[in-house]
Structure 1
Amino acid sequence: MGVWNTFVEGDNLAVMQGLAPGSIDLVVTDPPYNTGSLFSYVDDFRGADGGRAGRHAAWVDFMRPRLEAMRAVLAPTGALAISIDDNEQARLRLLLDEVFGEHNFLAQVVVNLNPKGRQLGGGFATDHEYLLVYAREARSCLLDARTSDTVDPADFGLRTDDGRAYRRLPLRNTNKKFNPVTSPSLHFPVWGDPESGRVATTPFEGAVEVLPVFGDGRPAVWRWSRPRIDERPDDLECREIKGRQGARVDVFQRDWLESPGGRRKKLRTIWHSEEVGSTDTAVAELKQLVGHVFESPKPTGLVRRVLRTMPADARVLDPFAGSGTTGHAVALLNAADGGSRTCLSVNVAEPVRPGSNADLAGLRTVADITRARLRAVAEHVGGGLEER
């Protein structure tokens, strides 16, 4: 097993330009949000005129070559997940459409990182940020937006005699675009016994003929073909229901909680703090390893959710590594599921604020914080650390 984490101190643009094209599967990163604070890259994006418009234009100029470099190092099957807040969300979305292509947009996720909402200043109590997700090439991207995290066992409240949990799904196709005219091969009778629950494509004793119909009685079609029904009779169930026009017999699929390959559900585009963590839990995670030395780290739960959308051997890059959350998340997930993910974290030697907790702890730059955290991760979680 190789080293899980690698850390490079330096300008991320130069580092990425030195990487082999297509050598990265997933970029997860949290760039500067352009809040007007100082930022120690050579191409400082505060703007020559010091005004808001100048800062926005300079920030875009700063990000463009870095996004181009991120795209260049991604494999054709790879993806990018990048965090941002309202200061530059609109401009970043347009910039990503330009660099990656609008057709490679996958999602704009709203992340509830501050459930209490920010109480300082006027206006609304902002409690969210965004995660923009783009594919390198949407048609070949390996990102799978299904997860076991959001599966609720309470949704599977039925039990077979041997104790297996399931729920009932209509076997008929509920989408009215699919009907006997558009899908004639899927409109056929089946036979079912509402007493025993048995379903078959041919008549049997005690069975009644069942045709697929919509709730208003109009003809519908099944979701399964005849051969599939014959292959999976135990996954079907016949029962009597009360429809709009009175009682009738219908056929349902038994959708099992414990399905082959594991139960997975598509991720929604609003992620709550109780699911992925908050700024408070992120501070606690970092404090446990190296102390309270970073003002606004991301929770590892957020990054772990992103990591789970890609294969367990993904090569991950975080060019704005900050406190080192991505590398920490990679190690935690590898330790949990036996994966072999690797993470390259890059950070510039940006000075910390004089008198800050980091400064008092002897950490002079943000790169020092990244390095300290990843060293602690290697010691407490495992996977080692290579420093360049």
Structure 2
Amino acid sequence: MADPWNTFVEGDNLDVLPRLATITGDAAPYDLVYIDPPYNTGNDFAYRDDIRGDGTTDRHQAWVAMMRPRLEAARELLAPTGAIAVSIDDNEAAHLRLLMDELYGEEQRLAQVVVNLNAKGRQLGRGFATSHEYLLVYARDARRCVLDASSSETVDERDFPLETPDGRRFRHLPLRNTNKKFNPVTARTLHFSVWGDPETGEVRTAPFGAAVEITPVFGDGTAAVWRWSRPRIDERPDDLVCRRIKGREGERVDVFQRDWLHRDETGGRRKKLTTIWLAAEVGSTDTAVAELKEIVGHVFESPKPTGLIRRLLGTMPDDARVLDFFAGSGTTGHAVALQNAADGGTRRCTSVNSAEPTRTGSNAQLAGYATVADITRARLQAVADTVGGGYQELAP
């Protein structure tokens, strides 16, 4: 029988993480760690480690001291090719970034993403209406990390206005490198002549028929270089076209690449993700509350939308092992199941959550959930029942 997509362990993550391999019976490292730790709003947080000493430690130091050993433990569980992503708000974003720089290395920071979770902005309190949080993303080793910071969802077909008779869409990109940092001095081997026939569009690296000689130049007529080498031009002549264009010095002949929307039937085009993720793309706090309400009820005030986690999952291999040790309402496990169901992946998620009591008089308590862990397990079980993939709970 295949391993279940979702595994849950109840317990304090500081105690569970060092023993996780023993608990799960699987010592393989994790490819992606995602956590949404308690935000430091000035109130006590549930993880009351013995860190306050003589009581003089301020709230930022206390929060950092709570996070440090957990992030250290997470690093030991992360694959050399893996990545960790942490959601945070303005209260601790600066302190968390410094902590992550220290523990994982500043050179391993892949991004600080702005996530627009409240499009209207929070209208209570003084100052501006805050509409965003952050997502800090670090690699275990950026040189080896398999995270692909791109997505097929951000590709706009309108950017490919041209079409072949058989329906394939493309656009023309200059074969000339438009960045003046690359020129015959800095990239000497990429400055050479090609031959093209503007009547047929054919391009070759050697003279032929009625072809004219073409050298790469910038718009002002100064020498430039090609983006492709001679061997690559010879390998992909059908992806190039020769055209007459009007430049500053009058009409000239230039070479363009046919940049396809889909190069083949199996490889969907991807586009680099920006560092601003809009609620319209990944969901909002409101949509997160609604999707949780649909599956277990209105029992959590500020869950993360599954769309946010699914965008992260889309940057990793489809068989990634995922860990969330501040599992909260179980969004990460839910997102893993939805993504597997959507693309046929075999991702597996381990969720860890403490038995933090639900707030007195809260919707969760009134619904019969004594602890936040009860919400986590209820959601993951409901996900297994409705989406599939199975569920198991392991004793800590």
Quickly name the TM-score band, shorter chain normalised. Answer: over 0.9
**1:367 match:** 373
Match of 1:116 among 120, 125, 131: 120
**2:4 match:** 3
Once the two structures are TM-superposed, the CA of residue 173 in structure 1 deviates from its matched residue by 1.1
Instruction: Confirm whether residue 311 of structure 1 aligns to residue 317 of structure 2.
Output: yes
Q: Secondary structure at the match of 1:262?
A: coil
**1:25 match:** 31
Deviations 1:201-256 (A, max 9, x none): 22223322211001110011111112211111110011111212222111000000
Instruction: Confirm whether residue 162 of structure 1 aligns to residue 166 of structure 2.
Output: yes
Instruction: Confirm whether residue 147 of structure 1 aligns to residue 148 of structure 2.
Output: no
**1:296 match:** 302
Q: Secondary structure at the match of 2:75?
A: helix
Once the two structures are TM-superposed, the CA of residue 281 in structure 1 deviates from its matched residue by 0.8
Per mean C-alpha deviation after superposition, the further-off stretch among 218-227 and 328-337 is 218-227
Instruction: Confirm whether residue 324 of structure 1 aligns to residue 325 of structure 2.
Output: no
**2:24 match:** none
**1:12 match:** 13
Contact 1:47–1:54 (Cα < 8 Å) also in 2: no
Deviations 1:86-145 (A, max 9, x none): 000000000001111111111000000000000001100000000000011111111111
Once the two structures are TM-superposed, the CA of residue 48 in structure 1 deviates from its matched residue by 7.0
Once the two structures are TM-superposed, the CA of residue 44 in structure 1 deviates from its matched residue by 7.3
Write the distance in 2 (CA, Å) between the matches of 1:250 and 1:19: 60
Return the TM-score normalized by structure 1.
0.96
1:1-388 paired onto structure 2 within 5 Å? 1-20=2-21, 23-43=29-49, 49=55, 54-260=58-264, 261-388=267-394
Per mean C-alpha deviation after superposition, the further-off stretch among 216-225 and 202-211 is 202-211
AA aligned opposite 1:221? V
Deviations 1:14-60 (A, max 9, x none): 1111134762111011001111234322417799758xx71111101
Distance verdict in 2 for CA 1:281–1:235, change over 3 Å: same
Contact 1:43–1:62 (Cα < 8 Å) also in 2: yes
Write the distance in 2 (CA, Å) between the matches of 1:14 and 1:205: 75
Q: Secondary structure at the match of 1:119?
A: coil
Per mean C-alpha deviation after superposition, the further-off stretch among 151-160 and 196-205 is 196-205
Contact 1:47–1:58 (Cα < 8 Å) also in 2: no
Give structure 1 stretches of 5+ with no counterpart: none
AA aligned opposite 2:365? D
Contact 2:47–2:66 (Cα < 8 Å) also in 1: no
Write the distance in 2 (CA, Å) between the matches of 1:154 and 1:370: 41
AA aligned opposite 2:108? N
AA aligned opposite 2:382? A
Write the distance in 1 (CA, Å) between the matches of 2:58 and 2:189: 62
Write the distance in 2 (CA, Å) between the matches of 1:4 and 1:250: 53
Q: Secondary structure at the match of 1:19?
A: helix
Contact 1:22–1:72 (Cα < 8 Å) also in 2: no
Write the distance in 2 (CA, Å) between the matches of 1:164 and 1:237: 16
Q: State the number of aligned residues.
A: 386
Write the distance in 2 (CA, Å) between the matches of 1:47 and 1:33: 22
Per mean C-alpha deviation after superposition, the further-off stretch among 219-228 and 296-305 is 219-228
Return the TM-score normalized by structure 2.
0.94
Structure 1 runs (4+) greater than 6 angstroms displaced = 44-48
Write the distance in 2 (CA, Å) between the matches of 1:222 and 1:79: 35
Distance verdict in 2 for CA 1:258–1:128, change over 3 Å: same
Give structure 2 stretches of 5+ with no counterpart: 22-26
